[in-house]
Structures are given as C-alpha cells and as structure tokens.
C-alpha cells in the first residue's frame, strides 16, 4: 500500500478519479446523465464517492456502496436518500453528528470523531456490486483503515455485505480475524486485537420501512459503538 496516498484528504481525492470497474463506470455515468425527474435540474457527482468524516476518527461506520440517486448524485456517502436520512438522524441523536440531515457537500454537516465509508465506492446497478468489483475496490478501504488505525477505536458495519467485505480488510490491515470468521447479525460484537466491531442491519429503505431496523435499534448500536470509541456524550 506504500504507493497509495499518505493522507486521507489525498486518498479521498484519488478515490474520486478511479475508473477500475467498467460496469460501474458505465452505470454511474449513465445515471448522472439521465438523472431522476425529481433531480433533473441538479448536476450529479457521477464519480466514486469517498469516505466522509475527520482524519482522526475514533469510530468508522461501514456501509455497502453509494446509492444511484443518493451518494452518486451528491458526492457524499449516505447523502440524498432515505437510507442516509435514517443514518444521519441516528448519528445526530447519539451525539455523533452536528445536524440531523445530510443534504449535499458543503452543507455544514460535521461528524464528531466518526467517519462513514463503504467497501465499494461506486453506485452499482440494483445496489449489487459483484465480488470482483468488491475486490477491486478493496485497496481503497485497506488504505483508509491503515490511515485511521492510530485513532480508530470501534467499527459499526451496516449489513452482511459490508461485514463480509470488511473482515478481509481488517485482516490485511493487521487485525487478527479468527477462523472461521465471525458471523454477521444485528447486535453482533466481536473484538479483534482490542478493536470492537459491531454488526447492524443496513439502513436500507426495505429494512427501515418493514421495521427490520428501527431508529431505536440503530441508535442502540451507534451509542454502544460510540461509547466503545470514547465518544459518549
């Protein structure tokens, strides 16, 4: 990873220029060109979406990938769609965000000791990246966690895809991951060389509308993880 950027700011800038996965490049740019009717007057980001949060974050929140008309439109993870509305409201409720809404880059939102990222940085068709696309994007997350390691104290993983994608990354970064690998579940908690990793159902619209994940359930996980990271209010 020595050829990768030496700072998170440089890494974020480099992520935005990646064109490694032809299917994802085609899809994200097509969506940005055609747009959704509700956003027809907006200029879409249409590029890979970097992580969001301070370079000395103690807590990482790891999702799946940007949404076509969310992060792919706004250029910020979990921003501009209902999943993001739920996540940032919960982060605000437990004291990890300065405001309950994330609408666009430059809206003044700040995260307190928390960084939001994903194992895949481009919006995939049907929200389903392929294993090959996940693996091609892995070096970005590896480098991100390498840079965060001096301050990182806890991780929340949203969904089974993120859990399965993150464990090899943590292993590559030097945290010892047991075999067989820990299984994902809502409320799961595993400690890897002192780093607690928390599982949480994804904040997808399906999960939140069906009650599979309620705001209270999400707040509980974020509060526990924030406390483990030393960020409790």
Query: In percent, how much of the chain has pLDDT > 70?
Result: 99
Q: What is the mean pLDDT of residues 198-221?
A: 97
Domain ranges of the chain: 8-228
Q: What is the mean pLDDT of residues 205-229?
A: 98
CATH number, span 8-228 = 3.40.470.10
Instruction: Identify whether the C-beta of residue 210 lies closer than 8 Å to the C-beta of residue 86.
Output: no
The pair of three-digit structure tokens given for residue 37, joined into one six-digit string? 């009717």
Whole-number Å distance between alpha carbons of 11 and 14: 5
Burial class (CB in 10 A: 0-12, 13-18, 19+), 104: middle
Name the pLDDT band for 3 (thresholds 50, 70, 90).
Answer: confident
- As beta bridge partners, residue 198 has 156, 189
Asked whether residue 20 carries a pLDDT value surpassing 70, the answer given is yes
Name the pLDDT band for 2 (thresholds 50, 70, 90).
Answer: very low
The answer to whether the bond into 180 is cis (omega within 30° of 0) is yes
Mean pLDDT of the chain: 96
pLDDT in tens, 59-95: 999 999 999 999 999 999 999 999 999 999 999 999 9
Asked whether residue 1 carries a pLDDT value surpassing 70, the answer given is no
């Amino acid at each position: 990873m020595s050829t990768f950027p030496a700072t998170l700011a440089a890494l974020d800038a480099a992520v935005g220029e990646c064109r490694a996965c032809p299917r994802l490049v085609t899809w994200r740019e097509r969506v940005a060109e055609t747009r959704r009717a509700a956003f027809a007057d907006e200029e879409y980001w249409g590029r890979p979406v970097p992580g969001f949060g301070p370079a000395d974050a103690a807590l990482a929140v790891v999702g799946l990938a940007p949404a076509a008309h969310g992060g792919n439109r706004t250029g910020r993870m979990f921003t501009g769609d209902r999943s993001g509305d739920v996540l940032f409201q919960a982060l605000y409720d437990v004291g990890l965000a300065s405001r309950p809404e994330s609408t666009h880059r430059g809206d003044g939102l700040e995260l307190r000791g928390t960084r939001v990222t994903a194992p895949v940085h481009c919006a995939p068709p049907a929200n389903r990246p392929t294993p090959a696309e996940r693996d091609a994007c892995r070096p970005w997350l590896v480098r991100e966690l390498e840079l965060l390691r001096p301050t990182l104290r806890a991780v929340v993983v949203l969904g089974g895809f993120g859990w399965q994608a993150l464990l090899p990354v943590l292993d590559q970064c030097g945290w010892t991951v047991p075999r067989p690998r820990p299984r994902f579940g809502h409320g799961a908690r595993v400690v890897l060389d002192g780093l607690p990793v928390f599982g949480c159902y994804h904040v997808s619209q399906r999960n939140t509308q069906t009650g599979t994940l309620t705001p209270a359930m999400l707040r509980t996980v974020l509060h526990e993880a924030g406390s483990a990271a030393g960020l409790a209010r």
